[in-house]
Amino acid sequence: MTKRRVVVTGLGAVTPLGNTREEFWRRLVAGESGVGPITAFDASDFATRFAAEIKDFDADALIGKREARRMDRFSQYAFVSAREAIEDAHLPQDEEFKNKVGSVLGTGIGGILTFWHNSDIAAKNGTWSKVTPFFIPMLMANASGAHISMQYGFRGPFFSAASACASANDAIITAYNYVALGDCIAMIAGGTEATISPLAVGGFSSMKALSTRNDDPARASRPFDKERDGFVLAEGAGILILEEYEHAKARGAKIYCEMLGYGQSSDAYNLVAPDPGSLGVELALKRSLEHSGIKTDDVDYINAHGTSTPQGDVAESQAIERVFGAGTRVAVSSTKSMHGHALGAAGGIEGVAIALAVERDMMPPTINYEVPDPDCTLDYVPNVARKAPVRVALSNSFGFGGHNSVLVFGKVR
């Protein structure tokens, strides 16, 4: 079967760096940090007391009070970022088109804030009778896509993908295949997450996964730096509109870039620890090149998973070096140094960043890179964005469970 070409025609973002794609991009290339003290709850007794939170997000004003209060925060983020992406793409409104539009959105956890709030209410009241009747619909991982489908009348396939921190990339891959195989004309794809709560911070803290640089939160996320000590928990959403190329061209749509392919693999090693040999990461990278029909020399930029963990950064860096060759000149940066790690939304937020990087020939930096790690020897675009051609770019996402997922984007030729 001949696969159809798939392009990106719309982008939307709600991130710790800004609640629109342009504000996000402006602050990203400026090298700003979206990390600060936690305001969502009293974190004074926690080992980690900071995160990359969304700021100035008024759900009632953005969505409407009645509808917003029937959505968990992760669905609110998805709804607002999807609306921006849909409006950006200027999608047709006829019923025939809507019948061929669907969505796959990734989320690692779903409605954990709803779970936390309602459990807290029940504990304080000594009864479960006060649980909201919307508890289950708000909790469901697929709720974010359902709200978008109902709002716009899209009747294609709508569901969620859950593969921990690889969720958004896996969602984008699934959506890509719907378009490439001709089952849909366009797909809404990406990821959304809202987990900044005592439950999540407590859980990750117990695992010793989070940075504890409480005296300097803005400099806590430092991927590939020798003094990194863990990741910074984040929240948000990133949405891409994937559309069949000939359809987009015929209607005169703006095209940011083309999705050329992908690679996926499993570590088959450990539920939470990365394989120190990074064989699964290496396999996913190789598969992404093979599936896309490109060579290592074609790739100008890699948006790394780069979470700022001691083991994970080394494993990823060394896998890239094995695939691309010792002394490779490919530029690699981790935007998580600025917007933190949004778990199941990470690949969506970074997908928006990489689409703009390809369109605008600009590589976002890895900020807080101060002390080189002898085990991480690549060009990490340290501290300052770089204006340079971006013909082809990769986006890496890896998740607990050993999920490895790599996306390939390039300029339309």
Catalytic residue numbers, as ranges: 165, 305, 341
Phi, psi of 14 (to 5 degrees): -130, 110
Instruction: Report CA-CA distances (Å) from 399 to 87, 127, 305, 396.
Output: 31, 37, 9, 10
Q: Which one-letter amino acid corresponds to residue 319?
A: A
31 vs 9: CA distance, rounded Å: 26
Do 40 and 202 meet the contact criterion of CB atoms below 8 Å apart?
no
Residues with Cβ within 8 Å of residue 243, at least 6 apart in sequence? 6, 7, 8, 9, 89, 179, 185, 186, 187, 253
Give the HSE-up count for residue 14: Cα atoms under 13 Å, Cβ half-sphere. 28
Do 46 and 88 meet the contact criterion of CB atoms below 8 Å apart?
no
91 vs 11: CA distance, rounded Å: 12
Locate tokens 């928990």: which residue? 233
